[in-house]
Structure 1
Amino acid sequence: MIFVNDLPFSTPTPSSSTSQGKDILLALLENPVLVSASSSFKANPEKKFSVFDDDESNPERSKVVYIFQREYATVNPEFVDFVGTDEATTCVGLAIRNRRNGMTSVAHMDSPEIVETGLSQMLSLLVDDNTEIELDVHLIGGFEDVSLQHDNGTAVSESQTDLDGYSFPLCTNIVQTLWTREEKFHIKTICVLGHNTRRDLDGIAFPFFNGFVVDTATGILVPASFDRSSRCPDEIIRRIRVSTSYEDTNWNGKLLETYDTDTDRFKIAPCRWTLRQYQIALSLQQYSDSEILSICSTSPTAEAPDFVDTLRRNWNYMIEHPHWMETFPKNQPRVFERGTDGRWRRC
């Protein structure tokens, strides 16, 4: 059930059941209240996070939980000050906050197939049997990764064309799932697709913003970016787990569970890389940077400058540690707790 401006949201009767999600999404994107909210979000300066920043006023000195692609975390404001993600191009960041107690869940969704189960995972610690709980929802990310052009070269709007690509189906599935559930979802921000697209002089599209953080005390959401030092803990292992999870049936249709809400700890569940994945890593390392971009990215022209370097670091780790049990001895999770300085330390 979707609300906008605290009122139930309605759309014209869809032409078919298969088009309902698209109709809901396009109506939300054109809603004046949400258009204004998207503009207000983009007007905020991007908050930059770095462990190496010595500025004591930097929010990195606060307690932060960072989410990688395909992960989610539900945080308690008593333990965590900020929760966020970045590096989203065709992916979408979804934030849901319980108005009553400030509990906040953030996910970095990368495919329509994980939306339904992933949303249930997010809500498992946000709601109880009381479906009257009010939930604030923000969608940030995704962009116009398909060309909105007629064959004659004239531009068309999102409502005039059937979009494919990666971002549009993902956004459609998210709002469709929110619409059909019983919980009360108050859409506060929907900065996706056209609202999150900028173009260079050649007309190439890029996301306006790739990330955000939520202030758990206030529920305020602002654009954000993280450097390598602040994408922690266990950056490389968590990135590898994203890629290996596609061949692990335990994670089919699910978001990756990483953060323990009750203990304010990260628990990185074991992931197994196979001989096949090891051989793929060896093979991919032989390609040029431009070839890797073309092969491994859903949006090669929109990736960050360190995209290829990050992939190479992942592959190097797998090549240097071909047996996954070196990383997860006795098939046990890697556990990290927060130090007195707010930084993560392995237990």
Structure 2
Amino acid sequence: MIFVAGVPFESNSSYQGNCDLVALMEHPKLVSASLSFKAIPEKKYSTSDASSDELTKSKHVYLFQREYATVDPLLVDLIGTDEATTCVGVVIRNRDNGMTSVAHMDSPKIVDLGLSQMLSKLVDCKHDSDMDVHLIGGFEEISYKNTEQTGSEGNPEQVDHSFPLCAKIIEALGKSAVKFHIQNLFVLGHNTRKDTAGNTLPIFSGILVETRTGTVTPATFDQTTRCPDEMVRRIRISASFSDTRWRNKLLETYDTRTDRFIIAPCSWSIHLVHMSSFLQKLPDSEILRTCSTSPFAEAPDFIHNQRRQWDYLIQHPYWKETFRMGEPRIFTRAVNGEWIMVE
């Protein structure tokens, strides 16, 4: 059940197809919220940058694509994700206790089960809690108005990833018995700009949530702040597609109760290792075309991060070398805030 400005949302029957998403995109309160969010300066976090003091001195949780985490504001100060181009950052916060769940969703297929995973630690059995929701990410690869008018037909070279994902998220929220108060819908056209060549790009590709207040701000992170276990968690994104244990689910990453990262195991095949060897030989331009849903919108370190993953797979072809005995990789938070792997 969706609320906007405290009022139950009623879709506009004049729209066809994904009417709820389109109507919400044009709701005056959410248009105003998007304009306000757009005006917030983006924070860039790196441990080598003095501006990252807020992050490095606070207890934070970082999420990669297809991951989610639910955090307790008594244990975690900040939670964030970035590298979202056609993906969407979903923030759900329980108004009663501040418990906050964040997911980096990348496909309509994971929305239903993913939402259930997020709500599992946020909602009591009566489903009577009020939740604040922020949806930030995705961009207008193809005008949603044109999509409404023409359906799925059109230029075969254009593939729209963001719109179906956003539409599915709104559909799932609307069907739920939980009360979702949408605070921000900074997606699609609201989150779109153009470069000098006329290519559409997202304005913001990352977010940071202050758990005690629920404040959400635009943010990006670098290799030094995307931790722990960066390479393994990146590889799980690709490996999970062929691992039936994670079919249509978000990847489990963090244990809410103990404030530990518990990287649930994920297997990868020799085929993926061979594919890594093949991809590693491709030129940068071909890697962008082959490995990205939005090659013009990727961050400068996209190719570098892809090559690092392939190097790891080539050097560690058997997944049980990484997840010993098929057990998760566990990290605890040290006094100085750094993560230490439990042997």
Q: TM-score, normalised to structure 1's length?
A: 0.93
1:118 aligns to 2:114 (yes or no): yes
Pairwise mapping of residues 291-310 of structure 1 onto structure 2 (< 5 A)?
A: 291-310=286-305
Question: 1:141 & 1:249 partners in 2: Cα distance?
Answer: 27
How far does residue 328 in structure 1 lie from its aligned partner after superposition?
1.6
- Structure-2 change in CA distance of 1:161 and 1:192 (3 Å): farther
* 8 Å contact from structure 1 (residues 75, 103) kept in 2: yes
1:211 aligns to 2:200 (yes or no): no
How far does residue 117 in structure 1 lie from its aligned partner after superposition?
0.4
How far does residue 157 in structure 1 lie from its aligned partner after superposition?
6.0
Question: 1:173 & 1:224 partners in 2: Cα distance?
Answer: 25
1:202 aligns to 2:197 (yes or no): yes
Pairwise mapping of residues 1-347 of structure 1 onto structure 2 (< 5 A)?
A: 1-13=1-13, 19=17, 22-54=18-50, 57-146=53-142, 148=143, 160-162=149-151, 165-347=160-342
User: Secondary structure of 1:113's match?
Assistant: helix
Query: Equivalent pairs: percent with the same residue?
Result: 56
The letter for the 2-side match of 1:78 is: L
In structure 2, runs of 5+ residues without a counterpart are: 153-158
The letter for the 1-side match of 2:137 is: G
The letter for the 2-side match of 1:332 is: E
User: Secondary structure of 2:118's match?
Assistant: helix
In structure 1, runs of 5+ residues without a counterpart are: 150-155
The C-alpha deviation readout for 1:4-52, integer Å capped at 9, x for no partner, is: 0010010123777xx2xx1000011000100110111111111222223
How far does residue 279 in structure 1 lie from its aligned partner after superposition?
0.5
Question: 1:10 & 1:54 partners in 2: Cα distance?
Answer: 46
Question: 2:73 & 2:296 partners in 1: Cα distance?
Answer: 37
* 8 Å contact from structure 1 (residues 45, 223) kept in 2: yes
Question: 1:42 & 1:280 partners in 2: Cα distance?
Answer: 39
Question: 2:218 & 2:313 partners in 1: Cα distance?
Answer: 33
Q: TM-score, normalised to structure 2's length?
A: 0.94
The letter for the 2-side match of 1:229 is: T
Question: 1:343 & 1:102 partners in 2: Cα distance?
Answer: 24
Question: 1:304 & 1:161 partners in 2: Cα distance?
Answer: 31
* 8 Å contact from structure 1 (residues 26, 158) kept in 2: no
How far does residue 317 in structure 1 lie from its aligned partner after superposition?
0.4
- Structure-2 change in CA distance of 1:15 and 1:87 (3 Å): closer
User: Secondary structure of 2:224's match?
Assistant: helix
Question: 1:186 & 1:162 partners in 2: Cα distance?
Answer: 29
